[in-house]
Structures are given as C-alpha cells and as structure tokens.
Chains A and B, each alone.
Chain A
Amino acid sequence: MSRERRRTRASVALPVVPETPEVPVPPAAPAPRRKKVVAEAPPPYLLDFFPPETEAGTRLVRFFDRLREGRLSTTRCAKDDLLHWPPRTACPRCHTEELEWVDLPDRGRLYAFSAVLAGAPQGMERDVPFAVGLVDLDGAPLRLFGRVDGRPWNELEIGATVRVESYEVPDGRVFYRFRAIG
C-alpha cells in the first residue's frame, strides 16, 4: 500500500498530456477489417500439426515405420483384448506398458463426413476445399477420423468404401488418410 501511495505522489509533478478530442477510443470502437493472408509462410515448429515420428521425439516409431510401408497399425493390450486408437505406450484399462502391435484393415466405410470450405489452419489453406470423415474400419472395432481424398466432397456418400493410404508430409514424415474408392 505504501509503495503505491509513494508512486501516486511522485506522479503529481509530471506534466499532463493535453486531451486530443478526436483520439479517444470508446469501448465499442470499430475494429479494423480482417486482412486476407497474402503470403503463405511455413508454420513454425509446433504449429505444424504432424506429430514427431523419430526416436528423438516419440516412443511410437513403429507406427510410422509401418505406415511408411503402407500399413496402418496400432497397439493392442493382449490381457484386456483391447485395441487402442491412437497407438499408445500404456493401456488405459489395466495400465500395463507391455503392448503388442497389430496391423489394421486397409478398408472401411464412411460413417459421417463434412468438408472444410473456409477457416483452415495454417499450412492447410492450400488444401481448401477438403473433405474429412469418420470411417468404420472393416473387421476392426474402430471408427477413425481422417482426411478423405479421391473425390470432391459433394460427391461423397455415407457408406462409401474408402481405402487407407499413407502419404508424405513435411520433413520426410508420413501420415495416413482415406481415399474414396466406391
């Protein structure tokens, strides 16, 4: 309290800046118009949505190695007979850290989908419009979310068959997406 009072007293001798009547900004001041992004700079590290994929950054290297071979895989807890998604380092049910790797089916069916026609995050503006969807894998109790390529969004249908594929992303990394085939 005393510190504050001292500060207040010291300020009394300072010259007052005269008011400029045209400058004051009321609480509801009109805001500047949003600018369109002109140049697309690469997003800085950790503004990139792709996860770390090497031993230096993750314990799930096997997932990405297998994906590089074109196969989608995940972890499974044998004790609980529980298939995980995304792949894990510890089972959420029994908390064991001893998990096995299994390959997932490479086909599935669209359960729901939409498309991003506006409002894409940085690094994805050039992809607009793009479709995303939830896919029920054939023969595995998993419904995965992902990008859906291979057909314009307005030609997709619920129930359409999709194939899982891997594709290269920045810095030699890989990720998975779906391709509509039926």
Chain B
Amino acid sequence: MNGRTVAVVGGATTKFGVRATTWSELAQEIGAALFRAVPDLRARDVDSLFVGAAMPERLAFQSHVAPLAAEQMGIRPTRVIQRTELACASGQSAIRSAYAAIASGLSDIAVAVGVEKMNLPSMAEANTAMACVMDRAWDGPAGATAPPFFAMVAQRHMLEHRTTEEQMAAVSEKNHRFANSNPNAQFYEKTFPRDKLLRLPVVAPPLRLGDCSSMTDGAAAVVLASEDVVRQFPGPKAWIRGTGQYSDFHNLAHAGSLTEWPGLKRAASEALEMARIGVRDLDFAELHDCFSISEIVEYEALGLCAPGEGGRFVEDGRSDLGGDIVVNPRGGLLGCGHPLGATGIAQAVEVFEQFAGTVPSARQVPNPEWALVHNLSGSANVHSVMVYRRGRAA
C-alpha cells in the first residue's frame, strides 16, 4: 500500500427510515450528530468533504449537493469538495475518495458523508428514480429494476444449488434480529421470525418483501485522518488497510452467470492482499444484503464457503455471532434500510463502533481486529471492498 496511512477516527448516523424531513435537513442532522460523536473534531480542521449521494436530482430535485451539504454541516472545505455517485455504493465511494485524497497528501482531515432522501409521496416516482440505475434506454423499457434482477439471481441459485426460500429467510431473520439492537435501524423493534418472513407478499418471485431492502431516508458520516495528524484524535481508530473495486458490465445482457460474482472475488482479493490477510482472518463483515440472496452469493464469492453452499452456511449459523464470521451485525441493509449514499458510510461507522466496543452487547463481536465492508451497486455489476484493522497507532 502506497502513500500515507489513513484512519477512520469517528462517525455517526441519523435514524434511518421513512423520515418526515428534507435532504438538507438530513445533512444538518448528520452534521450535528457527527460533531457530537467526535468531540475532538473542529470544523475548521476539516479540509475536504466527500458527499455520497446517488440520485438527489430525481429524489430531492437538487444537483450540486456537495457545497449544499458543506453549508448544512457547517464545513468550509479548502482542499477537496465533491460528490461521489455510484448508485448503491455512493457512500463507500466517498470513503475511498477521501482515503485516496489523504493517502496522496492532498488532504489531512476529510469527512465522508452520505445523504439520501428516497421516500416521496408517490412510490412510483421513487421507483422511477431507482429504475434509472439500470441501462435506462435498453433494459429500462422492459421494466428492469433491482427486485426482478435479484429475483433471477435467486431463481438461478435455487436451480443450480438447491438453495431454498427458508435459507433466504434465514439471512433476513438474522439481519433483522441484529437490527433490533440498533435504534437507528429502520426496522428497530420489529421482529421477523422465519415463518412470518415466508408469509410476506411476493414482490418479484421468488423474492418476498422480507427478502428486499427498503426505500429509506437517512444520513451517515465518518471522519478520516492521515497518520500525520491522527494524534488530534486520541480515541480508538479503524485503519484502512486495503481496498479494491471492480466494474464488470452494465447492460444486463453482459451479466454472465447470475450466481457467481467474479467482480466481488476480484475486488475482495485485491483488498485482502493489500491488507496481507486472508478471508479467515476477518472477525466480521458488513456485506451488501440489498436482497437476502445477495448475502448468500457473497459468502461464496468471498470464499467463506464453497460455491453453492451459501444457503447452508447461513442456515447453520456460520455467519451469526458464535459462527465462523459475523456478517452484518449492524443489521444489514435488510434491517437498517438502504439510503443509497449513506449505506456504505453507516457500515464504516459500525466497523468503528465495533472496534471501539461501543455497540450493544446483543451485536458486539468479541474483541474484533479485522473487518471487511462490501458494497455492490446496480445489478451487482460493480463491487467495492474495504478492509479495516483496529489499532491506536498506524
């Protein structure tokens, strides 16, 4: 790994859910939450701001959101200010861009923030915005959106590997259970036992409502600092030790096998090699469970289990507390909701808080040292991965 070493030194999230508030108000709310959560942070020391926002033009009728967010948060960047857009991975893109800016020496202290306001009075309007993530002119006319695409992934996985609806429900049950210890989760204090999940209405067969992450309003932010200034923040840290990204295709005609995600394999091995660890060294992972089937395919692509064994892996509790690796202790996208630009950043906040040992015991991973964060975007055509390590010093 070249350049300066970079640490996440703190972070915060807002309440995720169907929020009676605007995009700008969410940006103010996360600014207030961030400065409360990181008392050593002074606004004048933040030289750069990276704003993950997937579709504010469609959902908040607002472009040029980076300076808007800066103003709402009370930050005046002097080095870098920009928005990062990578659909569902817009938040992790903000972190990766902040990491690159700091590693290169351009920035010393940066904030990566993600804000998304997705719930509109008309769900059809929000669905239209979501459909624009696909190849709008060629896949769009057929009605391509995420649920039918991931439904086809599930259909093929069930056909090729005998994966069952019960195994998909096991992913959803686990992540909703973890979300019950996360007051900021959209589905906090809502229980989803497997038999209930299997009775929910079908959205895109074979996927039921409980297999799909929801439309969510929310924001999250983290502070990143270079090794040279990190002494300003005496608390715990999550050091970025590796990162990888791979963009495979866009039009659905090029999706290839729906059940193997070579892009994730590649992005993850790049990140793990950079960190000089193997997948078995990880204590927990925040994986992109936009749909229950996604998490199952991700176990396999990451090499946590053999190809085709993902369903059994979750069913046997191997991705739960006490298993091989804890997956999605935050509650996942299924339990927390999925405000596109905020998701990747909320996952990083979870990594920081897990390392700091400040999450409720119901989801605390015992003494974690290594964590991996994954986001896919669109039709799993892009995969973005980060590897973090706990530690006080670089």
Contact = CB atoms under 8 A, between A and B. Distances in A.
Interface of A: 25, 27-32, 34-35, 37, 43, 47, 49-51, 85-86, 111-125, 127, 130, 132-134, 142-147, 153-154, 158, 169, 175, 177
Contact of B253 (A47, A86, A112, A154): A86
A1 B151 CA distance: 54
A140 B121 CA distance: 45
Contact of B258 (A27, A112, A144): A112
A153 B207 CA distance: 14
Nearest to A29: B20
Contacts of B331: none
Nearest to A133: B152
Contacts of A120: 124, 127, 143, 145
Interface in B117-168: 119, 121-125, 127-128, 130-131, 135-145, 147-149, 151-152, 155-156, 159
Contacts of A125: 124
B148 A132 contact: yes
A162 to B, nearest CB: 13
A118 B203 contact: yes
B362 interface: no
Contact of B152 (A114, A144, A153): A114
Given A32-B20, A114-B151, A130-B143, A122 B203 contact: no
Given A49-B131, A49-B137, A51-B137, A147 B143 contact: yes
Interface string B76-87: 000000000000
Contact of B205 (A43, A114, A127, A175): A114
Instruction: Give the interface size bracket for B toward A.
Output: 35 or more
Contact of A116 (B15, B17, B148, B159): B148
Contacts of A32: 20, 121
B36 to A, nearest CB: 12
B37 interface: no
Nearest to B202: A117
For the complex, would chain B's binding face be called helix, strand, loop or mixed by DSSP majority?
Answer: mixed
9 contacts: A50-B141, A51-B137, A114-B152, A118-B203, A119-B145, A124-B143, A133-B152, A143-B255, A147-B143
Contacts of A154: 205
Contact of B138 (A35, A51, A114, A118): A51
B114 to A, nearest CB: 17
A175 B139 CA distance: 11
Contacts of B19: 29, 31
A121 B147 CA distance: 12
A31 B204 contact: no
Interface in B175-210: 201-207
Contacts of B251: 85-86, 145
Given A25-B20, A31-B18, A113-B155, A145 B205 contact: no
A35 B124 CA distance: 10
B204 A144 contact: no
Closest 6 CB pairs of A and B: A114-B151, A51-B137, A49-B140, A112-B152, A145-B252, A31-B18
A27 B15 contact: yes
B122 A121 contact: no
B29 interface: yes
Contact of A122 (B124, B139, B142, B152): B124
B14 interface: yes
A86 B128 CA distance: 22
Nearest to A127: B143
Contact of A134 (B122, B152, B204): B152
Contacts of B29: 27
A166 B127 CA distance: 25
A177 B137 CA distance: 14
Contacts of A30: 20
A4 to B, nearest CB: 10
A119 B142 contact: no
A142 B256 CA distance: 10
Contact of A177 (B121, B125, B128, B142): B142
Nearest to B33: A27
Contacts of B253: 85-86, 142-145
